[in-house]
């Protein structure tokens, strides 16, 4: 376990997370303010800003639940993903992009801090990391790449 940062996260996992997160950020940074807000990232009207708000709120949830797992207060419960996605979209949709970026950045920092501070890897912790970390980014990166290419293509 020499390459481990802490029992909860190893350097390869951290590198994978960072690589994917940086790609998301780079793609978003390549867009104008108008493009970030333009509906169409998802057919149901999501913008890139909505996508970042979505990822950020899931990282916030993961940070909270990983902290509970670490402190022994976590109680597993059934999660209605669609209901949470709708609630998160509603909460973040009217926020300015600067707020959405700040929320996502702070939530990521908390998620990573809590992930790294786990005394052991548990199935519950693994589930939250998958739901909110690199695997979640991977769900959005293909469409983000496609959408950015479309927005940047000459008219």
Section 119-124 average pLDDT: 89
pLDDT at 8: 57
Q: 69: domain range?
A: 4-152
CATH number of the domain within which 68 lies: 1.20.120.450
The Cα 45–Cα 112 span in angstroms is 30
> Average pLDDT of the chain?
91
Q: What are the tens digits of pLDDT across the range 136-155?
A: 999 999 999 999 999 988 86
Entry pTM: 0.90
Q: Average the pLDDT over 79-99 and give the result.
A: 94
- The arithmetic mean of pLDDT across residues 78-103, rounded, is 94
| pLDDT score, position 120 | 86
List, for residues 8-43, the tens digit of each pLDDT value.
567 888 899 999 999 999 999 999 999 999 999 988
Q: How many domains does the chain have?
A: 1
Task: Residue count of the chain, please give it.
Answer: 155
pLDDT at 78 over 90: no
Convert the pLDDT of each residue in 39-54 to its tens digit.
999 888 999 999 999 9
């Amino acid at each position: 376990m020499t390459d481990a940062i802490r029992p909860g996260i190893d350097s390869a996992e951290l590198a994978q997370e960072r690589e994917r997160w940086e790609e998301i950020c780079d793609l978003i940074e390549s867009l104008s303010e108008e493009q970030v807000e333009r509906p169409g990232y998802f057919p149901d009207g999501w913008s890139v800003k909505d996508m970042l708000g979505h990822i950020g709120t899931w990282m916030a949830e993961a940070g909270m639940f990983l902290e509970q797992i670490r402190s022994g207060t976590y109680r597993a419960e059934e999660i209605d993903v669609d209901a949470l996605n709708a609630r998160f979209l509603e909460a973040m949709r009217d926020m300015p992009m600067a707020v959405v970026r700040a929320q996502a950045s702070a939530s990521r920092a908390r998620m990573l801090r809590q992930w790294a501070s786990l005394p052991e890897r548990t199935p519950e912790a693994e589930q939250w990391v998958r739901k909110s970390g690199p695997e979640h980014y991977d769900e959005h990166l293909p469409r983000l790449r496609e959408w950015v290419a479309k927005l940047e293509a000459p008219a």
